[in-house]
Structures are given as structure tokens and as C-alpha cells.
Structure 1
């Protein structure tokens, strides 16, 4: 018979093991089964996976084994894998939903404190997706809980930019998003085979974004970023409807012709009632080795968009920063490792981390929100 004190010490150590997908201790998720320890200190730990084909099973086994052997009185440890019963999975889903029944868009609830940024652009090719993933990773590196929704259904690119090859895990009708660099990410690109095109029209696009917000379990986030397709079409309008509290980040290049198009993306907020949190200028002037400035796309377009939006919306729209042309940014995107992590001190890395810091200090507020408490 196992010594109760040793098994309890093992359970305490297992509370340090975080599920790679749900980002919660496995002891809170009902994943720990029977624990036994023989006289020689060899421990056997039962672990119940959410599904038999759990893609993170190897990592879970490694983490559980390492945690168990750290318990006093344990010499070796092995893991006996099992699978949750339908009843246990139902209980887990109830726990994750916080008692909510049915499918709910938690980010649209009045009491939700997640800051939601919809990253928009007037035209394609301005680096909107690169900006999105780098802001997300920079904020996650600062300790925030961050998620990304790749809402560019036709032109999805976030999985490649994040180096994500894992598929989402399905917990019945609930979808658990892959995690990369501490960021929970979902994209239609995770559900299609190869480089298959997605040929959907308006209603299907709306439904896809809606499912990302209701079926995908992000948990409690500080920040959610949505990578919107360029322009002011179906998805931009759907996001405004599904996330009425979302704020727009407008990405443009310095070129005056591009800035006039970007202005339209921000001006949409006057119809959707969204706040424009700021403008980000990408592909800005770069400093050459001799100290001179190289303006491939001109200069000043970002400030011009910010000034025009401030005037038309009658509210301050700041230029959050200018990201210079930088080979590091392009190479990092090709390698699937965002530049804020792979080359944080590069010109682009410094600029993007600075913008992320400006956005991160805008903490989640509770002013005007209903709190889940009642007087005794």
C-alpha cells in the first residue's frame, strides 16, 4: 500500500504541471488518476488525456515524470496513460466554461475584460499579419495572456508566421487552439489540407469568424488580436458586430497613395462605432550602414493617416510607431519565429516591442462594467 504522505507530495508536485493546450494545472483539469509508490520509491502516476490522439501526450508524460521524481521519497516515476470518459470530458468542459451552458462569445459579454484589437489595413501587402503576430508575441513575452484569431479567411498566413504546424485539438464540440510562443492561435489554415484555397462568400465568412469566437476555448485573455483581411468588406463588418467593444489598429506604409487607402479602413469605425486605438506605419525609412536614411516607400504616411483620422473622427488617433524596413523582419517571418523574439534588438524588433509596450499598458479596465458579485 502506498504511503499517503508520499502520494500527497506527488500530487503537490503535479500541480506544477501545466497542460500545454489549456494552460492550466493538470490537477485542476481532472487529468490525474491513481498514484502508487512501492517500497523502493518507484512511483506510477495515472494520467487521463482529454482524447486518445492528444498531440501533446509526449510532452505531458515528460512533464509529469519530471514533476513526480521531484517529490521527496520518490526515486523513479512512470506514467500510465488513459483517456477521459465522456462524463469526465463533459465535467471538464463545464469547468472551462465557468458554468456557462451552450456556445457563448465570451469576448462580447459586458463583463469580459479582454482588450480586443482588430488589426486592419486599407490594402494588402502592407505587412499587417507580420505586425499582428509580432505584437502578440511581444505582449506575451511581457507576461500578458494573449490570443490571435486569423480572421483573414481567404489570405490566412498566421500559422506560417508563427511556425505552427500542430492541428487544434477537439474536445467534442470545443476546439483547443495550438500555443506558440505563449500565444493561443486559431486560423482556418489549420483545417485545410496543403495550400488549398478557401472559396467562401459572405455568410460562410461570418460563420467562420463566429465559430472562432464561440467554439474555440481561449480561456481568460488579457489581449485578443484579430488579423483582418484588407479593406472594409464582410469580415471587417462581421467583427464589428460580433465584437462591439473591439478597437482598430490601422496598418499602413509611408507611401501617400497607401495612406489614403488606409484611412478608409479607420474611417469605417464611424459606422461600426469602434474606437481607433492608433496607426502603425510599417516599411518605414531604414538607416543604412553609413548613417543615411533610405526611404523606399517615402515617409510621413503613418502620421498623415493618424492626423486625418483624428480630424474626421474628432478623437485623438495616435501614431503608435514606425517599423523600419528590416531584413530581420522578413527572415523571421520565413522562419516562423517572430522578429521580436528572434532579433529583439534589430530595428524592426525594437520598434514593434515599443508599440506592444504602448498597447500593453492600456490595462483591462472595470469602469462601467458589471462585476460578478452581490451584497451579502
Structure 2
């Protein structure tokens, strides 16, 4: 019997059961053996882009501890394949698995710019920063083809509406022209996620993302164009990247970042199973240690859903990580801060051009 090999270029190594489905799908070893014997490929490992047509694009965020009130996601699912991603669970609502499906079944919302413009033109809408990528990365590989994020940024600029972006992809530099125009009126902020300075760590945690070096270049380029950048050192995973906190903070500060933020990893929903399977295959020598240390941050579990506790954790290891982050801010960001986005202009541009009367 042949064994299941590691799927290269992907984070998840399996499709876990969708909790909303009664039946489950299993790839059996005898099927893999048959494919090998017949010279067939059991899994082509291809990414599919599937169009979807939601009625709205901006979501109100009800969680009180995520730092945003409104978010929008041009894509559902994310080809970046970050093994720890909390957004994996949301793919189950669309009828897919939080595992490989999340990385290989990308739902594309081509009507997003039109839906956004309809919202911003409403008389009842009051300007408040909308976060692009509250769930999945708006600059993931699909964006190179579909350019939905770029079109949405043009809408934000047209209506002088504040927007914030979260990304770990260097493709954002393609849109420097629009971002620079937004920055002139304090309508843009960018959050760049940098989890590690080690390319080996980055490669196994986030297989299809931009390299750490390219992300540091993003911080430098955006900062040089007057675009305020916060760096997300997230998530911090004990015994994987927890030792890098001070070096990361120093490096991103020197690159021009105005602030840093962090979370401690929590493996909610199906992610616990996906991460456990991944680490046993990828880092078998330290799998048990890492899993136990994550559990120590969440009361003996891989996840904690309590608001206010879930992001910061508790226990000795969490206390050490949070203290190290406080020291990093004091040491490298004492004289820096992110500016507040401008919400005063939009009302004058409700119809896309300035009202004179």
C-alpha cells in the first residue's frame, strides 16, 4: 500500500469534514494505490476560481475584540494557504471544507465594486473605515487576474471614503498610484502581516505568500509614499516564531512601520484538526511540544472563544509573549503611532464629486 504523500505548495494536507454535512468524503489508500498502478494522478492540486453573486459586500463585524466595525472581502477562500488561518472555518458556510478546499476553491465576487458603490451612495450611510481583507486576503493570487481590489480602491477614492487593508502579498505595490492619492487626504492605512523573518518558517506556515523580504520591501515602499503601515506580527506560535518578536519589531520599525500588533495563535473549529495533522507531518520532532504550549495558552485547549481572552491567551507562556510585545513597542515604537483615518470628506462626495452647495 502506498502512503499519502505531502501535498507540496499547500498548507492543509487534507480536506476535513464539513460540520454542516451529514456525509463525509475520504481518500482511501487503496484508491491511491490504484492510481499509482494505472499511472493516473489522484489529486491534480489545481486552484479553481468560482464566481459568486452576493447581494451585499460590506459586513458589520459583531466581535468586540477584532478592532474593526466593517469589513469586505472580494474573495472567499485564500490560495495563500496559511495553516493557522482563522478564516478557514468560514468556507464551510459555502459548502466546502476548511482544509484543502479553502486553498483551492476560491470564490470570486466580481460585482464587489458595484455593490460597494451602491452602499457608499446611500443617504443613510455614514463614513466609517471599511477594512479590506477582514476575512481573506484581498491581494491573494486571484487578484492579479481579476483586479477586484483595485476597482474597489478606485471607488473609495471617488467617494473620498476611508479604507484600511490587511495583506501579506507584495501585489499591493501595483496599486501605489491609487493608495498614494488616498493617503494625501488621510483615507488609507495598511496592515502588513509578517509572521517570521526566517524564509524556511514562512514557507511551511504560509506556502503561497510573498517572501518575508518582499513584505519588508512593501513596508518600506508604502512608508516612503506617505502611506501609514501597521505590521501584524500574527499569529505568534510558541516554539515556532515566538523567539523572533524583538527582532521582528526592530526590523519592521526600521523599515518604516508606525506600529505593531499581535495575536497568540488559537486553533478554532476545524483548524485544530488541520493544524495538528500538518505539524505532525511537517515538524514531527516538535509537534507535541508546540501543541501542548498552544494548549497552555488557552486553558488546556487548542482554542478559546472568549472575547478579550482568545487573542491574548492566558498562562505563563502567553504572559511572556504579551510582555515581550510590550517591551518591543516601548523599545522600537515609543515615538510612533498610526494616524486616525479621515471620515469628514465622504458626505461631500456622496454622488462621486464634490458638492458645492
Specify the TM-score bucket, using the shorter chain as the normaliser.
Answer: 0.3 to 0.5
Greater fraction of residues in strand: 1
Q: Structure 2 length normalisation: TM-score?
A: 0.37
Provide TM-score, normalisation by structure 1: 0.36
**Of the two, which has the highest radius of gyration?**
1
